[in-house]
């Protein structure tokens, strides 16, 4: 004899539509039953004290329910037995990122009960069922009807716009094959459906369930329900996850790879366990898909693509952040350096902003001069508070946009290095009122931080987000620009804060003595025009010598006089061209080799600037080609540039002094 306890789940099923009551109206008794058996799915509101605003939130402008409700209403569910409820799987957002962690049902009496375990789950069918930790005293569960016809009166029952249950009538319009494989036919009906109705029952005039409401059309009022028969046939042992046509594209959709990602998980299971395990499985699937895409296109993709190796010989110089770009055929490579806008933070600070091709925001945020650079980078609350002074982020509240002054400390911060060895800090802030986020990825920069920022709904932190993010940063190009006083702070940072190419640079500046020691050359320039406000610009690109991605210094520019961006000195690398390089680059290499034309060590005038270029003595080098061809030849080029308002004799004098200061090793 074995003693045991069990729970009996009772589901009443009818196989025929009830023809006697197809009047297009629900009786009062049926409505009362539906009010007891259909519930809202809600999540707790979270007004974080760490988030502050420029003025008090105008709670008085909200409706009574908005002011007093402690929950967000996100969907609908209904009892099919005294212990089991059914909803649409997407309402619980299990395989996706969300800041919502605890889910409850709320009945018509306003009582809430926490969801405990998932009993059935299918992403493909968009149906889930679950149990509760505790149950209402009064429960009525609905009969399931497996048959109906076009023209039958039907009713949507559910939470409409988070404002409680509503009942709306219509007719069955048609039966539409499900979109992926046509495995069943969804019920298309004319009853109105609104946000919040998802997961509610589509019922007939007797209140019997015909289907689970899953989506609405954006145009005409024809909406969709999954037939309830699918629920009756679902497994109670396995949750089935399907991410249809998961896609990874390398720069363009033409260079993409797609695959259906599937995952199973044992049931019953808590939402937390199911969410974490499914996200992990899908992330691994997306990571593998990215690896597969890179392998598929490796002959054309960086770093080994032939056209990319050609680009390495004539890379583009920028200031700020840029993004590596190519066409759909991987024939033309360039760096997209978007137009930027400066916004004042204080008398001594500004923010510089521009959009990137991925829809985020490239930005340089200057710190308060009295704040150490290391503190500004590590104190992410301080960084974001400073950012919000120049980049307005607001919350729509009672039809007003209220500016946010602080997001507080981030929910999470991660330090990591990209494929080029550059250290980044990624931080995530949640906007709890809308399940939304702010995400930044930053590096130290003279004066402050250089970053990429993204905002959006939490669900857009899609599968494989972290690996894609880190992979994409190999495509980010940085041109560092700052005054000498800012560079002093930068080079005093601990080595782990700096990209590898900066860690062995020897930088000194005392009064009028400027020294910069690099692997290939050094600059020792003594001049009274050099001071704390003189500017220094470094541009790093990809090293053409390596089969793996590696960063290399390509250009140094020194701007002695504040406010004069035309008059400056430069030292840069020039690489030999191939037949595949542009005519302009081939001409530059030929002229530099012969030291004629623009490389004749003579000033020429172009665009209102006196320009001189000289091939540095003993600078010719030869490095092994990474494409199996001829060795790559390199030269170091010294350049002088002056506004044409500068006397040419004075320009020659200053240029000669700078040329002598450059020593090639």
Higher pLDDT, 624 or 243: 243
Cα 425 versus chain centre, distance: 14
Contacts of 13 (CB under 8 A, 6+ apart): 143, 144, 145, 146, 232
pLDDT per position as a tens digit, 372-417: 999 999 999 999 999 999 988 999 998 899 999 999 999 999 999 9
Beta-bridged to residue 105, according to DSSP, are 41, 113
pLDDT of residue 95: 86
Which of 11-20, 73-82, 136-145 is the least confident region? 11-20
pLDDT per position as a tens digit, 334-377: 998 877 899 999 998 999 998 875 668 999 999 999 999 999 99
CB contact at 8 A, 626 and 607: no
Contacts of 569 (CB under 8 A, 6+ apart): 525, 557, 558, 560, 638, 639, 640, 641, 655, 658
Place 590 in a pLDDT band, splitting at 50, 70 and 90: very high
The end-to-end CA distance of the chain, in Å, is 91
pLDDT per position as a tens digit, 22-66: 556 889 999 999 999 999 999 999 888 899 999 999 999 988 888
Helices and strands per DSSP (H, E), number in the chain: 12, 41
Strands (DSSP E) contained in 38-177 are: 38-44, 52-53, 71-79, 85-87, 104-106, 112-122, 127-132, 144-145, 153-159, 165-177
Threshold 0.85, pTM exceeds? yes
Alpha carbons 362 and 473: distance in angstroms, whole number: 12
Alpha carbons 94 and 135: distance in angstroms, whole number: 23
pLDDT of residue 4: 25
Contacts of 63 (CB under 8 A, 6+ apart): none
**Which two three-digit tokens encode residue 249?**
């594209």
CB contact at 8 A, 130 and 117: yes
Please name which of 573, 585, 499 lies closest in space to residue 543, comparing C-alpha atoms.
573
Beta-bridged to residue 122, according to DSSP, are 127, 240
Look at residue 655 and tell me whether its pLDDT is greater than 80.
yes
């Amino acid at each position: 004899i074995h003693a045991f306890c069990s729970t009996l789940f009772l589901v009443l099923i009818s196989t025929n539509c009830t023809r006697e009551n197809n009047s297009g109206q629900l009786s009062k008794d049926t409505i009362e039953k539906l009010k007891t058996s259909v519930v809202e799915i809600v999540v707790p509101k979270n007004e974080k004290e760490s988030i502050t605003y420029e003025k008090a939130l105008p709670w008085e402008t909200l409706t009574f329910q908005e002011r007093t409700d402690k929950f967000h209403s996100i969907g609908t569910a209904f009892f099919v037995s005294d212990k089991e409820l059914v909803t649409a799987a997407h309402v619980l957002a299990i395989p996706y990122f969300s800041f919502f962690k605890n889910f409850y049902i709320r009945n018509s009496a306003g009582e809430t009960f926490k969801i405990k375990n998932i009993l059935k789950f299918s992403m493909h069918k968009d149906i889930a069922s679950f149990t509760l930790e505790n149950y209402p005293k009064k429960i009525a569960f609905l009969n399931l009807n497996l048959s109906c016809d076009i023209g039958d009166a039907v009713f949507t029952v559910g939470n409409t716009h988070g404002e409680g249950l509503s009942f709306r009538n219509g007719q069955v319009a048609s039966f539409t094959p499900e979109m992926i494989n046509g495995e069943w036919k969804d019920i298309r009906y004319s009853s109105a459906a609104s946000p919040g109705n998802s997961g509610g029952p589509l019922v007939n005039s007797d209140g019997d369930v015909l289907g689970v409401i899953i989506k609405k059309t954006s145009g005409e009022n024809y909406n969709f329900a999954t037939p309830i028969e699918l629920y009756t046939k679902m497994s109670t042992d396995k949750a089935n996850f399907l991410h249809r046509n998961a896609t990874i594209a390398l720069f363009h959709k033409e260079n993409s790879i797609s695959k259906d990602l599937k995952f199973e998980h044992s049931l019953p299971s808590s939402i937390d366990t199911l969410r974490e395990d499914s996200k992990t499985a899908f992330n691994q699937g997306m990571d593998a898909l990215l690896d597969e895409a890179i392998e598929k296109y490796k002959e054309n993709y960086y770093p080994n693509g032939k056209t990319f190796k050609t680009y390495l010989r004539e890379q583009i110089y920028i200031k700020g952040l840029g993004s590596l770009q190519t066409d759909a055929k991987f024939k033309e490579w360039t760096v997209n350096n978007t137009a930027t806008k400066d916004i004042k933070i204080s008398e001594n600070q500004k923010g510089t902003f521009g959009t990137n091709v991925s829809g985020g925001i490239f930005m340089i945020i200057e710190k308060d001069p009295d704040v150490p650079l290391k503190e500004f980078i590590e104190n992410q609350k301080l960084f974001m508070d400073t950012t919000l002074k120049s980049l307005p982020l607001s919350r729509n509240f009672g039809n007003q946009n209220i500016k946010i002054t602080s997001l507080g400390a981030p929910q999470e911060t991660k330090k990591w290095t990209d494929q080029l060895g550059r250290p980044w800090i990624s931080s995530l802030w949640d906007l709890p009122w809308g399940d939304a986020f702010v995400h930044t990825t930053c590096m130290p920069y003279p004066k402050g931080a250089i970053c990429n920022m993204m905002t959006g709904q939490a669900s857009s932190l899609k599968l494989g987000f972290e690996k894609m993010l880190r992979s994409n940063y190999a495509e980010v190009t940085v041109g560092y620009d700052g005054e000498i006083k800012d560079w002093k702070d930068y080079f005093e940072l601990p080595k782990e804060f700096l990209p590898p190419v900066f860690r062995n640079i020897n930088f000194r500046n005392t009064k009028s003595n400027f020294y910069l020691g690099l692997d290939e050359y050094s600059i020792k320039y003594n001049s009274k025009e050099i001071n704390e406000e003189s500017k220094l610009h470094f541009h790093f690109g990809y090293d053409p010598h390596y089969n793996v991605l590696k960063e290399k210094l390509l250009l140094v520019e020194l701007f002695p006089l504040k406010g004069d961006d035309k008059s400056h000195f430069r030292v840069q690398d020039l690489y030999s061209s191939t037949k595949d390089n542009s005519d302009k680059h081939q001409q530059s290499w030929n002229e530099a080799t012969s030291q004629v034309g623009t490389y004749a060590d003579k000033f020429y005038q172009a665009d209102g600037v006196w320009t001189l270029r000289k091939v540095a003595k003993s600078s010719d080098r030869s490095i092994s080609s990474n494409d199996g061809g001829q060795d790559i030849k390199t030269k170091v080029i010294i350049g002088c540039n002056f506004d044409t308002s500068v006397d040419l004799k004075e320009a020659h004098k200053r240029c000669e002094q700078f040329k002598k200061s450059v020593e090639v090793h």
